[in-house]
Structure 1
Amino acid sequence: MRSLFRLALLAIGLLALAGCDLLPSKKSDEYQLRGNTMGTSYTIKALNVRGKVDDETLYNDIKKTLDEANEALSNWKKESEISIFNNSSSTSWLSTSDRFHEVLAEAQIIHKLSGGRFDITVSPLVDLWGFGPADNKNPPTKEQIAEAMANVGQTELLEVKDNPPMVRKNKPGVTITLGAIAKGYSADLISRTLAKHDITNYLVEIGGDLMVHGLNELGEPWQIGVEKPDEAGRSVQLVLPVRDMGIATSGDYRNFYFTDEGQRMSHIIDPTTGKPVTHNLASVTVLAPNGMRADGWATALLVLGEKEGRALADKLDIPAYFIRREESGFVTSSSKAFDALMAAEK
């Protein structure tokens, strides 16, 4: 659904590793874990662990947390709860797990507050424009867009009930994807697992989405690098001192193509128009009380564009950092809440 750039984690160098690896640490009370989940990689760094939980117990708890998240939310897993929902043609109310419901409920809130720019029913458009499983780089016709749009629109096509937790689609062909919110939520779940063991200083990263708490090994806020949205290479635009919050970035510079006419097509699709965005906003970084909210709002604000996105971030007190591309280079701006948060950390 979107190309989340991998945040440059200055506290630890990230490497994509197969499987799940417990990493050696110079400190006996430091715990590091890397592996793969939801079609991406993850890294966990927890400090001051000694005396609270042994490595094997913590490993098993984290693995269980990730397995349960995959069972509910993974579009890559055929037997997951979301896949079963997508493959069903039923328009009746279906019971949901607490995890599935928690993400759906947050998605509904962000959808409404963003004026429909965040939409988990957008998959037909993503596929149509060539960013799904099929390698199709030919822009669709108006008729094809209209046909895909018939199954897009959370407000009309998806209903979520809180008590008891249930969901239903209002058309048999409606499907949902949680790629723009599930990784942030999974980081939150691991955060809860660490908190259960009274671990208060940690960094959790899944596919570039983060949840950090407490302080790093130097007794300072975690230092998180925001990547410059440069298609030619990787470098850091800004370093954020962060504690006790989620961080996510959405960008358009890793997943795009040019048409035969030379038009740049971004994978960032506006669900309200059915077309890729055409503005010059390259990336948005959002900080929020949890990873799920940061994850969802990063996508929503990127779809909105810098002007509308910053205005909404100011209205809702969302800390957001914007990078747009100009002929002269990259230009940055930020919301009032972002400026206030950074000033408080100095």
Structure 2
Amino acid sequence: MRYLGCVLGISAILLIMAGCSVSKVYQERQFLAMDTLISVELSGTEENVQQIQTIIDELENKVSTTNQNSELYQINHRMANTVVLSDTVAQLLHDELEISETTNGALNPALYPISLAWGFTTENKRVPSEQELAALLPKTNWRQIQLSGNQLTLMEGMELDFGATAKGFASDLCATYLREQGVKSALLDFGGNVYTIGDNKEGEMWKIGIRDPWDETAQNFAGVLESTNEAVITSGSYERYFEQDGVRYHHIMDGTTGMPAQSGLVSVTIVCESGVKADGLSTALFVMGLEEGSKYWRQYGGFEAIFITENGEQYYTEGLIQRYEPSLEKKAEVIYQ
């Protein structure tokens, strides 16, 4: 979700309809934060836009794994196993652990040592040995994370990473602020994590294009979704990957093996009111795969999903029937309760 009127992003693409019937002053801005290009469009003031950037910067300064001054960096390099968290980081970890519990660890905030070994956090990408992964996996048991209010206790050697939820959490913080300010129309694009408020400037629902995973130009869509007042977040194996000896390795890790998840999926899009929930579930259901992900939706509900398989088939939940139009040539099937 990058270029206004053309392409915006990594995992989803916003289609902005140009028109003349604009009754409100729209503010638009793009800036770099959280390792991505963030785009903001809203009916409001310049101050609203500036505050959005401040909210994002403040969160990034708390949850960066590489900034030595960040709260998360200090947690991962702690001198004692028990630390006191800020309210913001405690809430983010609480939200992520709730998803970890219901997905049986398919979302795992303790996988930072694994991601680091693969080089996805340092860009020194490589395939770690089986012995290296075997030594690291015992340090990634998310059930050993003990959070009581703002007090966090971690086992020795455990390190956290909020990469699977931080952008979604940021979108929630920004959406809450905008609603408090009376903003009725906004689109927040966090590098593929979209949050919509109200309708667009033409008074219509926002149209979000779900990226075709096989289109490296990011110009074509797997489908188009009409959206308002919700998060639309995609996790895909095409977003970050490298190839070695003819094999492609992507960044979405299976916590049971320490290897990139092999679930038969290439992308999962989650649609729901909560950005942090959509962000976390897009990763978790990717790891779980189509069958288990569908069972999870049937059991817990509260969100909709679009699954795209390795052979190009699409499966989407019945709550999207009236507002999602798949466009890939291959099979598209509705998942019913």
Task: Judge same fold: TM > 0.5, yes or no.
Answer: yes
TM-fit CA distance, 1:340? 7.2
One-letter amino acid matched to 1:257: F
| Secondary structure of residue in 2 paired with 1:287 | strand
Output the CA distance in 1 between the equivalents of 2:68 and 2:285: 30
**Contact 2:207/2:225 (8 A) holds in 1:** yes
Corresponding residue for 2:175? Answer: 191
Percent same amino acid at aligned positions? 24
Q: Which of the numbers 16, 22, 26 marks the counterpart of 1:30?
A: 26
Q: Shift of the alpha carbon at 1:28?
A: 5.8
CA distance in 2, matches of 1:130, 1:82: 18
Q: Residue 272 of structure 1: CA displacement?
A: 1.7
Partner of 1:332: 314
Q: Which residue of 2 aligns with 1:22?
A: none
Match of 1:120 among 109, 120, 127: 109
**Which letter does structure 1 place at the counterpart of 2:55?**
T
1:254 corresponding residue in structure 2? 239
Mapped to 2, the partners of 1:217 and 1:129 lie a distance apart of 43
- Which contiguous aligned blocks of 4+ residues in structure 1 show a shift greater than 3 angstroms? 336-343
Per the alignment, residue 161 of structure 1 pairs with 148
State the partner residue of 2:137: 149
User: d(CA) in 2 for partners of 1:341 and 1:168?
Assistant: 44
Post-superposition offset of 1:265: 2.4
**Partner amino acid for 1:36?**
L
Cα distance between partner residues in 2 of 1:153 and 1:290: 26
Quote the residue 2:3 is aligned against.
Answer: none
Amino acid at match of 1:275: M
Whole-Å Cα distance in 2 between the matches of residues 341 and 9 of structure 1? 15
* 1:107-157 C-alpha deviation (Å, 9 max, x unpaired): 10010111111001111112223433162433412x21111102102112x
TM-score by length of 2: 0.86
Say if 2:304 is the partner of 1:319: yes
Task: Give the corresponding residue for 2:75.
Answer: 85
Distance verdict in 2 for CA 1:231–1:147, change over 3 Å: farther
Structure-2 separation of matches of 1:296 and 1:36: 22
Q: Which residue of 2 aligns with 1:223?
A: 207
Q: Deviations over 1:8-27 (max 9, x none)?
A: 111289xxxxxxxxxxxx87
What amino acid is the match of 1:129? W
After TM superposition, give the deviation of residue 276 of structure 1 in Å.
1.7
Superposed, which structure 2 residues align to 1:176-325 within 5 Å?
176-230=160-214, 232-234=216-218, 235-260=220-245, 262-317=246-301, 318-325=303-310
Q: 1:8 aligns to what?
A: 13
1:100 lines up with 2:96 in the alignment: no
Superposed displacement of residue 205, structure 1? 1.1
Note the C-alpha offset of 1:308. Answer: 1.2
The residue that corresponds to 1:66 in the other structure is: 56
Over the aligned positions, Cα root-mean-square deviation in angstroms equals 2.2
3-state SS in 2 of match to 1:121: coil
Give the gaps of 5 or more residues in structure 1: 14-25
1:268 is displaced (CA, Å) by 1.7
Deviates more, 1:289-298 or 1:267-276: 267-276
Question: For residues 27-76 of structure 1, what are the alpha-carbon distances to aligned partners after superposition, in whole Å with 9 as ceiling and x for unaligned?
Answer: 762111211111212111112x3xxxx42x32442233123212222224
Report the Cα distance in structure 1 between the residues aligned to 2:136 and 2:27, rounded to whole angstroms: 47
CA deviation after TM superposition for structure 1 residue 266, in Å: 2.5
Partner of 1:21: none
TM-score (norm 1): 0.84
Secondary structure at the aligned position of 2:310 is classed as: strand
Tell me how far apart the structure 1 counterparts of residues 210 and 134 of structure 2 sit (CA, whole Å).
37
Letter in 2 for 1:176: L
Matched pairs, number:
312
